[in-house]
Chains A and B, each alone.
Chain A
Amino acid sequence: MSAPILKVSGVSKRFGGFVALEGIDLELGANERLGLIGPNGSGKTTLINCISGALSNESGSIEFEGQDITRLPPHQRAARGLARSFQIPKPFRSMTVLENLRVPLEYAARGRTEARRIDADAMEVLELIGLKGRANDSSAGLTQVDMRKLELARALAAKPKLLVSDEAMAGLSSSEVDEILEILRALNARGVAVIMIEHIMRAVMGFSERVVVLDAGRKIADGTPEEILHNPDVERAYLGE
């Protein structure tokens, strides 16, 4: 593995008496494809909320490109190249699709974008995602699949080095899942590391080079998709004794 782009060490998060995460360690190489799976309520979304800064972890540290970002607010993490998409799409509803992409280009990617290139860069992302034809449509009127594509497009417009995709495919049809997978592969081919949270096993196992499994806030397995499929602990977590 090359020098890690992301290093999570001993991260714990409590909500009152409930322990959502306990001592999570995680390393991610630059340009690596990591799958993050686990039963519902196992702490996947809490972990990426801690990574993206939406929640602050009580203990442990998070390093991005060798620098400690544990106490940085989310917008500063985004500016360093850490982007995420949300499980439930959160488009900027008063804006068109194109304007939605202007926000990350003008903020998160500001230092890496020429001002006069903003619209061109946005169109390039829309082209990659397959939303080019809807650039000037209102984002509130998009279909569910287009809404999810916009969610990814907006994360990409931040020109990330690491993209965290939180269930980008939930509720999509099989062909739509393939479309999204195609986009994520294309992105990874450009050198972006990807953490994929997903319940669709076919997608996550096919996409990931490595898979991490969470259960009840603890990491119970870490290995290639092949190893994970044959791991007895994982089987127990999903199917019970």
Chain B
Amino acid sequence: MFRSRADVVFWIVLAAVFAAGIVATQTWSNEYYFTAIYAILQATIMAVAWNILGGFTGYVNFGSAGFFAIGAYTAVALDKWLGLPMPFLILASATICGLMGLGVGYLTLRLKGVYFAIATLAMAIVLETLIVNWSYVGGSKGVYILTPETVPFFKSYIHLLFVVMLGLALAAIAVSRYLNASRVGRGLAAIRDDETAAECTGVPTLRLKLISTTLMGAMMGIAGAPYPFFVTFVDPASAFNLFVAVNSIAMPMIGGTAHWIGPVIGALLVGSLQEIMTVTISSAVNVLIVGVMLVLFITLAPQGIVGLVQKWHRRGKR
């Protein structure tokens, strides 16, 4: 875990952020901040998850919302059926969405580029149709979730959810960072750069792609599991929202997809801007922001913010 000084710094920062989050729940009284930051954290997990398949492995996909929603509905169903506590719901969502990632990966990874992207979009639509017709979890009408009035250690339920989400986001970042620098990560990068050459240098491309889709699915599921308790009302239209999928693609693109920090920067930047715009102007401006930023970055800085920084860094050295 602590192989270099960068590792030590990374874990200290992570611990500090988590500690600061806990301190904030004990000192800040305005609940708005926690809902706002919760949304940013959720976006961070999704951006990190998308980037494992879309960025590290180079398989751009539109299925994020599907995995996220299945994560949310797994939590809804298990909460209603067995009343399991939150950690089990998160674990169950991660498992189900991870398996779904594995299955979808196996079926669709033979497709490349645009065809793969379209197949994942179709998958999300199929899943939405399934949920719409499943009355146990509310069908198209949606379902209300009751959250406890009081919770131990925290002043309110939203504080607890906030801390859970903070822990999950930090864990997702740590996994993504570890993966990026690992042997598997190098194999994924080789697949992204040239799949044929990767296979011929000994990289088991199919197996690594399946690891990638499984991990992506599990992380999306984890982001979705606490969502019903956060919003207290879920329906297919909001869970399968295309905007959610677009966000999780746009954020890594804006931050930079090749490096683990890219989606984190993108999510923090875009997520914060969206929250500020929602409060100061209107929630409709949200969509505009993502659109404009995405177009700007794709045309002017296709490697994202990380790419820009690396370019300046190289120029500085010369």
Contacts and interface: CB of A to CB of B under 8 A. Distances in A.
A74 B206 CA distance: 11
A213 B250 CA distance: 53
B198 interface: yes
Given A92-B194, A106-B183, A73 B199 contact: yes
A193 to B, nearest CB: 17
A6 B142 CA distance: 64
Interface in B182-206: 183, 186-187, 189-190, 192-194, 196-206
A95 B197 CA distance: 13
A157 B203 CA distance: 13
A107 B201 contact: yes
Contact of B193 (A54, A95, A110): A95
A106 B189 CA distance: 13
B192 A94 contact: yes
Interface residues on chain A, size class? 20 to 34
A126 to B, nearest CB: 16
Contacts of A78: 199-202
A93 B258 CA distance: 12
Most buried by A among B192, B202, B204: B202
A90 B189 contact: no
A136 to B, nearest CB: 11
A75 B186 contact: no
A210 interface: no
A76 B189 CA distance: 19
A129 interface: no
A54 B202 CA distance: 12
A52 B196 CA distance: 11
A103 B198 contact: yes
Given A92-B194, A94-B189, A94-B192, A107 B203 contact: yes
B197 A75 contact: no
A149 interface: no
A68 to B, nearest CB: 19
B227 to A, nearest CB: 34
Contacts of A86: 196-197, 200
A236 to B, nearest CB: 34
Contact of B186 (A52, A83, A102, A108): A102
B154 to A, nearest CB: 43
A53 B200 CA distance: 8
A52 B204 CA distance: 14
B189 A108 contact: no
Interface in B229-279: 258
A122 to B, nearest CB: 12
B265 to A, nearest CB: 18
Nearest to A52: B200
Contact of A92 (B183, B193, B199): B193
Nearest to A102: B186
A104 interface: yes
Contacts of B258: 94
A79 B202 contact: yes
Nearest to A139: B193
A218 interface: no
Contacts of A91: 193-194, 197
Given A92-B193, A94-B258, A95-B193, A103 B186 contact: yes
Contacts of B205: 75
B197 A54 contact: no
A5 to B, nearest CB: 18
A75 B204 contact: yes
A44 B202 CA distance: 22
B256 to A, nearest CB: 11
A158 interface: yes
A92 B185 CA distance: 13
B55 to A, nearest CB: 11
A109 interface: yes
A99 interface: yes
A75 B203 contact: yes
Contacts of B189: 92, 94-95
Contacts of A52: 200
B200 A99 contact: no
B185 to A, nearest CB: 11
A52 B186 CA distance: 22
B193 A74 contact: no
Contacts of B190: 92, 95, 103
A144 to B, nearest CB: 17
Given A102-B186, A154-B197, 5 more contacts: A75-B203, A95-B186, A107-B183, A107-B201, A107-B203
29 contacts: A52-B200, A73-B199, A73-B206, A74-B199, A74-B200, A75-B201, A75-B205, A84-B200, A86-B197, A90-B196, A91-B194, A91-B197, A92-B193, A92-B197, A92-B198, A93-B193, A93-B194, A94-B189, A99-B186, A102-B186, A103-B190, A103-B198, A103-B201, A103-B202, A104-B202, A106-B187, A107-B187, A107-B203, A155-B201
The 4 closest A-B CB pairs, nearest first, are A108-B202, A107-B202, A90-B197, A92-B193
